[in-house]
């Protein structure tokens, strides 16, 4: 497996996890309940993605995985963390206001905010990674 | 990046290397080499030194201020 293939697998899995988190959050907000599907789905998908990325890293080998985790990866990761931080502050204001005004209950706001925080970072990472290709 | 002139691609071609070859030798991804060559990503001092070492030249041969 080349470092490019490993990086593509990693980005794809992080993107799928981000989309799953976003879908869960939107479903929670639209349906007005903290568990629009099983509550364990976002965590399960994230854990499975982590395991698959680890497996891909082992298959690629230390050198290839290291190549794909270089300066550019760290740069993209850092920028995604920054974007994710600001996105989570924005969504916190929205979910906090929705909870405070009684539009959704606090448990739903908590579930939506938790998954939106994950989605913000993960989808920012994928967006920035694709822009640097 | 404004203000930085990158000669990496010319140096790499002169050495008869592909982006993948240089990436392999410098232990980075081909994408990193591509973004450095296109001026999208400014490498760290360490990476710039490593690229110069692989290509057998000085960092100033690869990068210069406008």
ipTM of the complex: 0.85
B28·A67 Cβ contact <8 A: yes
Q: What is the token pair recorded at B22?
A: 């240089």
* Residue span of the structural domain in which B55 resides: 4-65
**Using the beta-carbon criterion (under 8 Å), do B41 and A72 form an inter-chain contact?**
yes
Tell me how many domains chain A contains: 1
CA torsion through residues B8, B14, B20, B22, sign = negative
Angle at B65 between CA B62 and CA B66, to 5 degrees: 115
Q: What is the pLDDT of residue A131?
A: 87
With cut-offs at 50, 70 and 90, classify the pLDDT of residue A67: very high
In this prediction, what percent of chain A has a pLDDT beyond 90? 95
Say yes or no for a CB contact (<8 Å) between B43 and A71: yes
Q: Which residues pair with B64 in a beta bridge?
A: B5
Which of A2, A66, A71 is the best mutation test for B, with the most CBs of B within 10 A? A71
Cβ distance A115 to A41 under 8 Å?
no
Contact A72 B24 (CB under 8 A): no
Structurally, chain B folds into a number of domains equal to 1
Q: What is the mean pLDDT of chain A?
A: 95
Q: pLDDT tens for residues B20-57? A: 999 999 999 999 999 999 999 999 999 999 999 999 99
Range of the domain at A119: 3-131
A4 touches chain B (CB under 8 A): yes
Contact status of A63 with chain B (Cβ, < 8 Å)? yes
Q: Does A62 touch chain B (CB under 8 A)?
A: no
Q: Distance between CA atoms of A40 and A3, rounded to whole angstroms?
A: 32
CATH of the domain at B54: 1.10.260.40
Beta carbon pairs, A and B, within 8 Å = 42
- Quick check: B1 pLDDT over 80? no
Query: Which tokens sit at B35?
Result: 């973004």
Can you tell me the mean pLDDT for A58-84? Answer: 94
């Amino acid at each position: 497996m080349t470092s490019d293939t490993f990086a593509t697998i990693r980005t794809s899995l992080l993107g799928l996890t981000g989309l799953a988190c976003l879908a869960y959050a939107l479903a929670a907000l639209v349906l007005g309940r903290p568990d629009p599907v099983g509550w364990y789905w976002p965590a399960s998908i994230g854990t499975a993605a982590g395991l698959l990325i680890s497996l891909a890293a082992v298959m690629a080998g230390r050198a290839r995985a290291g190549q794909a985790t270089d300066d550019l990866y760290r740069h993209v990761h850092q920028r995604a963390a920054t974007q994710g931080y600001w996105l989570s502050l924005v969504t916190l204001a929205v979910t906090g206001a929705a909870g405070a005004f009684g539009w959704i209950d606090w448990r739903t706001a908590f579930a939506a905010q938790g998954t939106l925080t994950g989605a913000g970072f993960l989808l920012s990472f994928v967006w920035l990674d694709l822009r640097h290709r | 990046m404004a203000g930085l002139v990158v000669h990496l691609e010319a140096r790499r071609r002169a050495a008869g290397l592909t982006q993948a070859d240089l990436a392999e030798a410098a232990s980075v991804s081909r994408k990193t080499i591509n973004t450095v060559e296109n001026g999208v990503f400014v490498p760290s001092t360490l990476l710039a030194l490593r690229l110069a070492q692989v290509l057998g030249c000085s960092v100033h041969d690869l990068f210069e201020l406008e």
